[in-house]
Chain A
């Protein structure tokens, strides 16, 4: 498994395109992104983003996108390869069904962050809303990662079939105590890590011991997180962590009479 395939974006070596999105319709903005990527532009800076939806949705190239402002819903949905760094908050559905690539958010994210992610990585500096990481998937070496610096709403990682979620709880009003309810309900694959203590999980999920392998994985993700946001990783790594795993491969195996 490649833990550090994505390091912070390199300095501007690629050809750069700058756009002012202030009064741009999202469809115009996205067709611009597709066009410049096709023309061989390597990096796009988008300024004055005011909630335009679908930035980077369906893009399948190596474009690097910098978003300055507040990105709207479905940022990077169905995305397959690009990297997006947002200097601001993002709304709902960030990385929805994303296949590959990187999303780094210097702010917070709304509901259903990383819904059904299939690959790539998402780093959110602050907190996320409800239903983050539901239905994340993996197969063999294709594995998605979702790292949340703050806290999360309820239903985190429901029905997870794969992938890794790490919640750091930094700046959480509840300290290191994990407050979200129904975590990992119905999960049948994947892993959820949280810094500090987690008292309750959803049906079908269970708390398990953090092993050495887990710590390696957690450490790699935290270092990467800290690199993106210029945090000190040593302090965070001193904490204890909780691990949530599926309690069964078939959480609803006995629900039906056949």
Chain B
């Protein structure tokens, strides 16, 4: 069948600048470029280009330009180019359209409608260059009240504290599995988390034994496929996360394509190499809140009640009552993953239509848990679509204790959001599991980039906190007085629990 799909991008090579070094041929994993001996020139097949910018960055003479194809269908405000392409692709394949990364459509980001406060005159701002500003955060259940035992002049804490995760900055690396990412990427995250005093989440797929040494900074995930989950693994991690749902694809499972399942990944997941790793939509031992409680406590039993257990859900319509149920099921940490949350592979239609924005879900969950007087029973991690330090600060003001970053971490390592993670061809060497292409990602350098990013954000967070006159991130948590909304309806402001700017 002849394809009716026109190329999305055009690759232009400036013949005068090109020195025929063929670096572009070497770098492109999609086979866009080839050398025409007769013409003595590089010829590019634009239809294969995903605009990952790898060849552009590696061209020594800056001879390559990748641009959006000026040709397009006659799109209109209802039938966009992307919708026409998607329908045509489905007509040609009869299959579900797969995408990588988070929803890229406009209109679902509330961070940009929220603005932060700063001190002027009446309360002095704090200069983070002169004064310490505390970002350390403890994640886990907090007691209703503290009891002390007094012995003579000495006081000792008598309340038994639940296990906590201690993060030096309220930013953790989100669950990204071994298989979705390769070993080098996992190692970079592990190294960076160790250096920063935070945690990386291995996602559903276990952890290669070569990385077990990073266990103190590891959150292990237990999801519906139970890949890579065994007692030793549960015990090397600092915390356990039960994944119920994911913002990029609420309500459905996940399939790691067999092309990405090499021998090491197959061993770690305990599945035959080359087969799809199938994570079904539900956990088949969890059909209710009571069942969830059973798994939470099975995990606590298996780890002697020494590790916090997190439960991750996608932000959906009834997140608030669901969250209440999860807290009552014994979760120590609740992870809310919003509509913008990314993934290595999801059906496009699910990613772009199912779930709700993290900002609204976070605000309503925090509010509900407060109303029920159980907010102290759980720490909240907001996830999905955090792009910079301001998003972190706004999330904390809306009620989060900390955030997960996934896409931002990948971008730090080299990702250019070409959205083809499922193809196994990641030209930046992050999501490919091909041993040759994986070598492009040096874990040392990638880890340095991650550390730099989080340090820079942490400095900015201190600046913003200081500006609001706060010397600890704790003072900001759920402090919606520090937020004002713009371009929002009364209903949106009510759900966010935020006043209009100027009010």
Name B251-305 residues within 8 Å CB distance of A. Answer: 255, 258, 266-267, 269-272, 274-278, 280, 284-285, 294, 297-299, 301-304
Name B325-377 residues within 8 Å CB distance of A. Answer: 345, 347
Point out which of A54, A161, A189 has the most chain B C-beta atoms below 10 A from its C-beta.
Answer: A161
Q: How far is the CA of A158 from the CA of B232 in the complex (A)?
A: 26
A contact residues around B276 at 8 Å (CB): 188, 250-253
* Range, interface on chain B: 35 or more
Q: Does A9 contact B (CB under 8 A)?
A: no
Name A52-80 residues within 8 Å CB distance of B. Answer: 53-54, 57-58, 60, 73-74, 77-80
Which partner residue on chain A sits nearest B253 by CB separation?
Answer: A159
Report yes or no: A73 in contact with B271, Cβ–Cβ below 8 A: no
Q: Does B422 contact A (CB under 8 A)?
A: yes
A contact residues around B299 at 8 Å (CB): 78
Our count of residue pairs bridging A and B at CB distance below 8 angstroms stands at 142
Known interface pairs A189-B272, A249-B272; A78-B302 also in contact (CB < 8 Å): yes
Which partner residue on chain A sits nearest B86 by CB separation?
Answer: A257
Q: How far is the CA of A186 from the CA of B229 in the complex (A)?
A: 20
Known interface pairs A57-B301, A80-B231; A258-B258 also in contact (CB < 8 Å): no
B contact residues around A162 at 8 Å (CB): 270-272
Question: B348 to chain A: closest CB distance in Å?
Answer: 9
Report yes or no: A96 in contact with B298, Cβ–Cβ below 8 A: yes
Q: How far is the CA of A186 from the CA of B276 in the complex (A)?
A: 10
Q: Does A137 contact B (CB under 8 A)?
A: yes
Report yes or no: B89 in contact with A93, Cβ–Cβ below 8 A: no
Known interface pairs A134-B284, A137-B271; A257-B93 also in contact (CB < 8 Å): yes
Give which listed residue, A78, A252, A256, contacts B234 with CB less than 8 A: A78
B contact residues around A80 at 8 Å (CB): 230-232
B contact residues around A53 at 8 Å (CB): 294, 297-298
Report yes or no: B275 in contact with A139, Cβ–Cβ below 8 A: no
Q: How far is the CA of A79 from the CA of B298 in the complex (A)?
A: 11
Q: How far is the CA of A113 from the CA of B331 in the complex (A)?
A: 24
A contact residues around B284 at 8 Å (CB): 112, 115, 131, 134-135, 155, 158
Question: A53 to chain B: closest CB distance in Å?
Answer: 7
Known interface pairs A78-B234, A249-B272; A112-B285 also in contact (CB < 8 Å): yes
Q: How far is the CA of A134 from the CA of B302 in the complex (A)?
A: 21
Report yes or no: B230 in contact with A78, Cβ–Cβ below 8 A: yes
Q: Does B21 contact A (CB under 8 A)?
A: no
Report yes or no: B272 in contact with A188, Cβ–Cβ below 8 A: yes
B contact residues around A253 at 8 Å (CB): 258, 276
Question: What's the dominant secondary structure at chain A's contact region?
Answer: loop
Report yes or no: A60 in contact with B294, Cβ–Cβ below 8 A: no
Which partner residue on chain A sits nearest B285 by CB separation?
Answer: A112
Report yes or no: A96 in contact with B278, Cβ–Cβ below 8 A: no
Report yes or no: A188 in contact with B271, Cβ–Cβ below 8 A: yes
Q: Does A254 contact B (CB under 8 A)?
A: yes
| Binary per-residue interface labels of chain B (299-317) against chain A in the complex, 1 for a CB within 8 Å, 0 otherwise | 1011110000000000000
Report yes or no: A258 in contact with B422, Cβ–Cβ below 8 A: yes
A contact residues around B90 at 8 Å (CB): 257
B contact residues around A188 at 8 Å (CB): 271-272, 275-276, 278
Question: A140 to chain B: closest CB distance in Å?
Answer: 8
Report yes or no: B294 in contact with A250, Cβ–Cβ below 8 A: no
Give which listed residue, A54, A115, A161, A249, contacts B270 with CB less than 8 A: A161
Question: A52 to chain B: closest CB distance in Å?
Answer: 11
Q: Does B95 contact A (CB under 8 A)?
A: yes
Question: B316 to chain A: closest CB distance in Å?
Answer: 23
Q: How far is the CA of A92 from the CA of B231 in the complex (A)?
A: 20
Question: A116 to chain B: closest CB distance in Å?
Answer: 4
Report yes or no: A257 in contact with B301, Cβ–Cβ below 8 A: no
Q: How far is the CA of A140 from the CA of B264 in the complex (A)?
A: 12
Q: How far is the CA of A257 from the CA of B231 in the complex (A)?
A: 37
Question: A48 to chain B: closest CB distance in Å?
Answer: 20
Report yes or no: B302 in contact with A77, Cβ–Cβ below 8 A: yes
| Binary per-residue interface labels of chain A (15-43) against chain B in the complex, 1 for a CB within 8 Å, 0 otherwise | 00000000000010010001000000000
Report yes or no: A78 in contact with B270, Cβ–Cβ below 8 A: no
Give which listed residue, A34, A142, A155, A256, contacts B95 with CB less than 8 A: A256
Question: B2 to chain A: closest CB distance in Å?
Answer: 16
Question: A42 to chain B: closest CB distance in Å?
Answer: 20
Give which listed residue, A54, A139, A258, contacts B301 with CB less than 8 A: A54
Question: B345 to chain A: closest CB distance in Å?
Answer: 8
B contact residues around A189 at 8 Å (CB): 271-272, 275
Give which listed residue, B230, B266, B304, B345, contacts A118 with CB less than 8 A: B230
Report yes or no: B278 in contact with A186, Cβ–Cβ below 8 A: yes
Q: How far is the CA of A78 from the CA of B234 in the complex (A)?
A: 9
Q: Does B118 contact A (CB under 8 A)?
A: no
Name A102-138 residues within 8 Å CB distance of B. Answer: 111-112, 115-116, 118, 131, 134-135, 137-138
Which partner residue on chain B sits nearest A130 by CB separation?
Answer: B284
A contact residues around B495 at 8 Å (CB): none
Give which listed residue, A93, A116, A252, contacts B255 with CB less than 8 A: A252
Which partner residue on chain A sits nearest B93 by CB separation?
Answer: A257
Which partner residue on chain B sits nearest A138 by CB separation?
Answer: B270
Give which listed residue, B274, B275, B294, contacts A74 with CB less than 8 A: B294
Q: Does B411 contact A (CB under 8 A)?
A: no
13 examples of A-B residue contacts, CB within 8 angstroms = A57-B301, A58-B301, A93-B285, A97-B226, A111-B285, A115-B285, A131-B284, A161-B269, A161-B271, A161-B272, A186-B280, A258-B98, A258-B422
Counting from the closest, the 4 A-B pairs by CB-CB distance are A58-B302, A137-B270, A116-B226, A257-B95
